[in-house]
Amino acid sequence: MADLIRITGIKGFGYHGVFEAERANGQDFYVDVELEVDLTRASVSDDVKDTINYAEVIDLVVEEITTNPVSLIEKLAGRIAERIKITFAQAARVTVTVHKPQAPVAAEVKDISVTISR
C-alpha cells in the first residue's frame, strides 16, 4: 500500500526514563507517526469519516506521552503503536518514532530516538 498519513513532531512533556531525576523533573518528548491506510475513498469523498482523523491520533499520542511513565522510550513507542492499531483498525501499518532529545547521556547529541513498526 502506498497511501500514508504522516504526522511529525507531536510534542508532549513526560516523566519517562530510567533515572530518578528524569522521573522527578520530566522532559519534552517528540513523536512522529506514519500510518499506512487506503486513502482511495477519502480522496474521492472529501469526507473525514473516510480517513483517519489526525487530530484524534495527535490527542492519543499526547495522552500517552503525558501519562503513565515508563523507563524506556521503546516501551512508550510500543504502547503508542498498539493503541493506534486498536483505535484505528483501518491502519494496515503503524510506524512510531519517539524522540528524546534531552536524554541524559555523557556527550552532546542532537537527538536520540527509537522507531517501531506494527
Contact 99, 112 (CB under 8 A): yes
CA 101 to chain centre: 15
Task: Kindly name the residue from 11, 75, 85, 100 that is annotated as catalytic.
Answer: 100
Question: Hey, is 94 helix, strand or coil?
Answer: strand
- Cα–Cα distance, 88 to 26 (Å, whole number): 29
Catalytic annotation on 100?
Answer: yes
Q: How many CB atoms lie within 10 A of CB 21?
A: 10
Q: How far lies 82's CA from each of 10, 18, 27, 57, 77, in Å?
A: 17, 22, 23, 12, 9
The residues annotated with a catalytic role in the active site are 100
